[in-house]
Amino acid sequence: MNKIVLEDSFYKLNLDNGKNYIITSNNNSEVEFNVLDNTNTKIVEINQSDTKTKYIFNILENSNIEIDIFDDSKSVKRTIDININGENSKVLLNVSSISSEENEYIVNVFHNKSNTISKTNIHGVTNNDSKIIITNNGYIKKGCKKSKLIQDNKIITMGENNSKIKPNLYIDEYDVEASHGAYIGKFDNDTLFYLSSRGLDEKLSYNLLINGFLLDSFYKYESLTQNLIDIINKYWR
């Protein structure tokens, strides 16, 4: 994968077709990513530092981009703006978050052309009494027909519930599909009971469930998977 190291500054980057990128960012990075016509690309970021970042994605026609972010930190604040400016383009955003104090995500997805698709999956686990705050805003402008916007926001609380999810849809066109989901709570008791009936103790059950919950989007990055499993095992093993 192509490596991009971001220091404390502002960047503008053009993403090339067929290339995948791994990002390392430091605090206070602001980055504008330009996805040109007919581009197919992936971006992955594994972060274990306190960070404050703003990412802006400008996506042109017939392009497909997947963004996968994994955060393990005491304090994260991310703002992600996605501008789908070309027809027949698709964006998939996956965020997996382990919070030790407070992680905050503000995501804005703008459908500015017809026949566009966006899906945002923001999944987090709070450690002890930490919290995750998610604001997920989706916009479809009038005239952007045949567009599809899906939000999936889930937070699993392993202590007190101090988290918040704000899923918002701003839809100005009828001929579209738009949906959002928001869940804050524990793992399902029936699932835990099933695992215990198969001989798994509580710690191992939680470990398996958290791995599946946070890593679903990352198994395709084989060189990174074991590192992510080791991160999760610091807390639940």
Please compute the mean of the pLDDT values over residues 48-55 and round it to a whole number.
92
In the chain, where the domains are located: 2-186
Give the global pTM: 0.95
Environment class of 223 (CB within 10 Å of its CB; exposed 0-12, middle 13-18, buried 19+): exposed
Please compute the mean of the pLDDT values over residues 124-141 and round it to a whole number.
96
Length of the chain: 237
Model confidence at 131, pLDDT cuts 50, 70, 90, reads very high
Structure tokens at 237: 């093993």
Distance of alpha carbon 178 from alpha carbon 107, whole angstroms: 16
Question: Which of 126, 169, 123 is closest to 148 using CA atoms?
Answer: 169
Distance of alpha carbon 81 from alpha carbon 138, whole angstroms: 10
Which pLDDT belongs to residue 204? 85
Structure tokens at 70: 């994994």
Q: Tell me: pLDDT of 182 over 80.
A: yes
Question: Which of 204, 193, 222, 235 is closest to 97 using CA atoms?
Answer: 235
Q: Tell me: pLDDT of 40 over 90.
A: yes
Please compute the mean of the pLDDT values over residues 106-123 and round it to a whole number.
98
Which pLDDT belongs to residue 70? 97
Which residues have a Cβ under 8 Å from the Cβ of 140 and sit 6 or more positions away?
111, 147, 149, 170, 171, 172, 173, 176, 178
Which pLDDT belongs to residue 189? 87
Q: Tell me: pLDDT of 27 over 80.
A: no
